[in-house]
Amino acid sequence: MGLLDWLRRRREEAEEGAYEAFAEETWVNGEQVPNDEIITTGEGEGDLPTLRKGDRGDEVKLLQETLIALGFSCGKAGADGIFGSGTKAAVKDYQKAHALGADGVVGRQTWTALGLMEPQVYADGTQPPDFKQYDKRWAGKMYSSHGDKKQTMKSSGCGPTAMADIVAAWWDRNVTPYELALKSLDWGTRTKNSGTASTFFRKVQAEYKAGKYLTRTSLDDAIQCLQEGGLVVCCFGAGTKGKPGYRKWTKGGHYACIWKYDGTYFHINDPASAASARAKGTRTEVANTRKGFYLFWR
């Protein structure tokens, strides 16, 4: 059995920036309702294994062949089925180029980026995909309403990038932040010089038919959404100088996806950073810096 046949069999087995005034809104199944209205609403079979230096076998050879085909040399030995120093270096280079944790270990996230494993199905309370606006696949692509080449995904694409975390988790596994940026341009929700307008999130709700969508400023509303299995996009500001969280996420305005509140910390996918300090925020930090929340239920 060839490697492609083997991979096909494995797959078959697996198949068994808004800086404007913030207005609170409530939408359910595409219809706006009064804000005060009460509304009710690991490795599995067929997965590729985690690989690291020292491993051998068909899976390593498949990895090497894929990396080489993508332009990442595994050293003089080539695709020999042995995970050595050359293969580790190639993996790290690939991970760096795709905004992944560059540790040289090939787990689900790296296999998925290589196109050899399906993304993990999102379960409520687990971390959704964590896209970065500086990912080389789209970092330099223009995101501008008036043809300004300096306005790129890296410089101003936090809105589509944060939203892509939610869309990929629930509705479209293959979506990219740039695809949502193009939708934003089509919808006219890319502002001239202030990133993405808040109306973008309402458009996304309609596009993917989210069951429930609210815009809120209250931390308690955001926490309730998370506790009910929802996901949140937060519009961060700099906050008040001298108070917790001041300029922790931005000096002006920035969107990020909040996916969990554990009673002490909000857990955050920050499109502009992989720093651990920005991946968590206390209630007081978020309270000082948030401008508003966009709350989504699947």
The answer to which of 31-40, 167-176, 222-231, 277-286 has the lowest mean pLDDT is 31-40
Cα 264–Cα 270–Cα 184 angle in degrees, nearest 5 = 130
Which part of the chain is CATH 1.10.101.10?
Answer: 49-113
The answer regarding whether domain 17-38+132-297 maps to CATH 3.40.190.150 reads no
CATH architecture for the domain at 49-113: Orthogonal Bundle (1.10)
What's the pLDDT at 13? 43
Task: Tell me what the mean pLDDT of segment 53-67 comes to.
Answer: 94
Task: Tell me what the mean pLDDT of segment 6-29 comes to.
Answer: 49
Task: Tell me what the mean pLDDT of segment 207-235 comes to.
Answer: 94
Q: Taking 50 as the threshold, does the pLDDT of residue 21 lie above it?
A: no
Q: Which of 87, 82, 81, 79 is nearest to 104 (CA)?
A: 87
**Residues whose CB falls within 8 Å of the CB of residue 232, separated by 6 or more in sequence, listed in order:** 222, 225, 226, 257, 258, 259, 293, 294, 295, 296
Helix (H, G, I), strand (E, B) or coil at 38: coil
Mean pLDDT of the residues in the chain:
86
The answer to which of 73-77, 103-107, 149-153, 291-295 has the lowest mean pLDDT is 103-107
Task: Tell me what the mean pLDDT of segment 244-249 comes to.
Answer: 97
Q: Taking 80 as the threshold, does the pLDDT of residue 5 lie above it?
A: no
Q: Return d(Cα 92, Cα 49) in angstroms, integer.
A: 17
Which part of the chain is CATH 3.90.70.10?
Answer: 17-38+132-297
Q: Choose between 13 and 267: higher pLDDT.
A: 267
Q: Taking 90 as the threshold, does the pLDDT of residue 272 lie above it?
A: yes
The answer to which of 22-36, 91-105, 194-208 has the lowest mean pLDDT is 22-36
What's the pLDDT at 120? 62
Task: Tell me what the mean pLDDT of segment 51-59 comes to.
Answer: 94
Residue with token string 């379960």: 123
Q: Which of 88, 80, 7, 82 is nearest to 47 (CA)?
A: 7
Percent of the chain residues topping a pLDDT of 70: 83
pLDDT in tens, 105-117: 898 778 888 888 8
pTM of the model: 0.68
